[in-house]
Amino acid sequence: MADAAPPSKSRDLDKLLLRPGNLVGPTFDPGVQLRDDLQEYARVLVVGAGGLGCELLKDLALSGFKNLEVIDMDRIEVTNLNRQFLFRLEDVGKPKAEVAAKRVMERVSGVNIVPHFCRIEDKDIEFYNDFNIIALGLDSIEARSYINAVACSFLEYDSDDNPREETMKPMVDGGTEGFKGHARVIVPGVTPCFECTIWLFPPQVKFPLCTLAETPRNAAHCIEYAHLIKWDEVHSGQAFDPDNPDHMKWVYDEAVKRAELFGIPGVTYSLTQGVVKNIIPAIASTNAIISAACTLETLKIASGCSKTLSNYLTYNGVEGLHTKVTEFVKDKDCLVCGPGVLIELDTAVTLKKFIDMLEEDPKVLMTKASITYHGKNLYMQAPPVLEEMTRSNLELPLYDLMDKTPKDVLHATGTINKDDKKSSGLRKLRVVFKGIDGVTDMDMAGGA
């Protein structure tokens, strides 16, 4: 029998948390203690403070989560104001994460939101391990892939290659595309991770270079000409960074010149961002619907008040309204959420040699790798102060740096080269040293 509860401001939330039910999770224990524990101990990280991220912060705060953090690297632009409702005209130019956190705390009493104005790659892996759940409100496949790899890196397997429940880092991922959207639950080791279902995301539209160079017919062609052709001509050897405002402004200016030359209207700064980053305009109502679904799933995971989504919800509001839930299956050979990529080494292999090997390994293909072991930095490519501090480890045997452990897991963070495309990524590596007592033939067999 649920214990009696004093009146609460969260009346509707209490109906879920204070009463038993028939569709609850196996660990659900209704009562005031559950509600209080949820507010005091549950920590949720919201990744992204754009259209969907603003909705997520608001919904989570109103759903009883008092300890929230948000990370976003962007600043507020005028074009954000039509759908990112936490921002005002006077906020233009300010960091999204900081303003969003401030606005929600002003409206929802008792909630504490810590903003982080930086790239997701700027935080070390252990930062993400401090949270019970990670909620994603991103518009980038690359960013989703990175956070997915980080969350899956915490997953550990037992000797029978079964995932250990206490090491699972649940994620709730939302995404919108105009009047369409999705919400999904990712429990590493149980449900498919992002990489298992990467095929769900269509490839980015690419224009023939001859069209861009000779016969542009629309504004997008002019933008891609400046982005793909003109940039390399002028900035030989310098990589284009889509997150650098100066780089984006240069592409916009060149695209305007190109459009004027061919009499093509429609080149705007927001369109330039959309074409270069493959961003599809967001609709406020779609963001609200998908955020509500994601918040409910976050509450289910944290409290057990109901069974979670299994495991991918799609929403289509183009003509009428259609929703559907599909249960996708985990890829047992996934390189990200599986036990890890197996790498066999001699005990004499140095850390530098190991890093070089990652560039050639067909399952890793990682350059400029930083290596961590049980939270300890063995070698860091950046920032310069950490690189200098860990540089001396490069010439030491990896076996010694791993405390002469016959087999264990390392984490490598760097640039992954896949299908002629470079992106930041993280890989879990199962290192086995050959010729050491305790290493069986089974350890040496198989791959991921």
Q: Which of 156-165, 310-319, 367-376 has the highest mean pLDDT?
A: 310-319
Q: What is the pLDDT at residue 115? A: 96
440 pLDDT exceeds 60? no
Q: What residues pair up with 173 in beta bridges, in sequence order?
A: 136, 184
Distance CA 257, CA 265 (A): 11
Q: How many CB atoms lie within 10 A of CB 205?
A: 9
Cα dihedral 151/23/1/133 (nearest 10): 10
Domains, in order of start, for the chain: 11-202+282-326 (3.40.50.720), 209-276 (1.10.10.520), 341-445 (3.10.290.20)
Q: What does the pLDDT look like over 17-49, one tens digit per residue?
A: 888 888 888 888 888 888 888 888 999 999 999
8 pLDDT exceeds 60? no
Residue whose tokens read 């039910």: 21
Band of pLDDT at residue 242, cut at 50, 70 and 90:
confident
94 pLDDT exceeds 50? yes
Task: Specify the higher pLDDT residue, 436 or 437.
Answer: 436
6 pLDDT exceeds 60? no
249 pLDDT exceeds 80? yes
274 pLDDT exceeds 70? yes
Distance CA 118, CA 49 (A): 12
Q: How many CB atoms lie within 10 A of CB 346?
A: 12
Distances (CA, A) of 325 to 84, 314, 316: 27, 6, 12
- Looking at residue 263, the DSSP 8-state letter turns out to be T
Tokens of 117: 């104005």
298-302 contacts, C-beta under 8 A, 24 or more apart: 298/44, 298/60, 298/63, 298/65, 298/133, 298/135, 298/172, 299/16, 299/63, 299/64, 300/25, 301/133, 301/170, 301/172, 301/185, 302/38, 302/42, 302/44, 302/65, 302/132, 302/133
Q: What is the pLDDT at residue 9? A: 66
Q: Which of 167-181, 244-258, 299-313, 402-416 has the lowest mean pLDDT?
A: 402-416
Helix (H) or strand (E) holding 399: helix 398-401
Distance CA 139, CA 281 (A): 10
Q: What is the pLDDT at residue 202? A: 67
Residue whose tokens read 């000797």: 159
Helix (H) or strand (E) holding 352: helix 351-360
Distance CA 216, CA 224 (A): 10
Band of pLDDT at residue 442, cut at 50, 70 and 90:
very low
Distance CA 39, CA 212 (A): 54
Tokens of 191: 């449900």
Q: What does the pLDDT look like over 135-144, one tens digit per residue?
A: 999 887 888 9
Q: What does the pLDDT look like over 203-232, one tens digit per residue?
A: 666 666 666 777 888 888 999 999 988 998
Q: What is the pLDDT at residue 71? A: 96
Q: What does the pLDDT look like over 340-390, one tens digit per residue?
A: 788 899 999 999 999 999 988 888 888 989 998 887 889 998 888 888 999
Tokens of 372: 């961590």
Q: How many CB atoms lie within 10 A of CB 422?
A: 13
Distance CA 153, CA 124 (A): 12
* Mean confidence (pLDDT) of the chain: 86
Q: What is the pLDDT at residue 204? A: 61
Q: Which residues are catalytic?
A: 210
Provide CB contacts within 8 A for 82, sequence distance 6+. 284
Distance CA 14, CA 29 (A): 13
Q: Reduce the DSSP state of residue 356 to 3 states and report it.
A: helix
Q: What is the pLDDT at residue 446? A: 41
Q: Which of 103-112, 194-203, 248-257 has the lowest mean pLDDT?
A: 194-203
176 alpha-carbon distance from chain centroid: 15
Cα dihedral 200/202/204/207 (nearest 10): 160
Q: Which of 79-88, 186-195, 328-337 has the highest mean pLDDT?
A: 186-195
Q: Which of 200-209, 269-278, 322-331 has the lowest mean pLDDT?
A: 200-209
Cβ proximity of 137 and 44 under 8 Å: no
Q: Which of 15-19, 75-79, 297-301, 368-372 has the highest mean pLDDT?
A: 297-301
Cβ proximity of 116 and 27 under 8 Å: no
Cα dihedral 116/122/125/126 (nearest 10): -50
Distance CA 61, CA 106 (A): 11
Q: Reduce the DSSP state of residue 424 to 3 states and report it.
A: strand
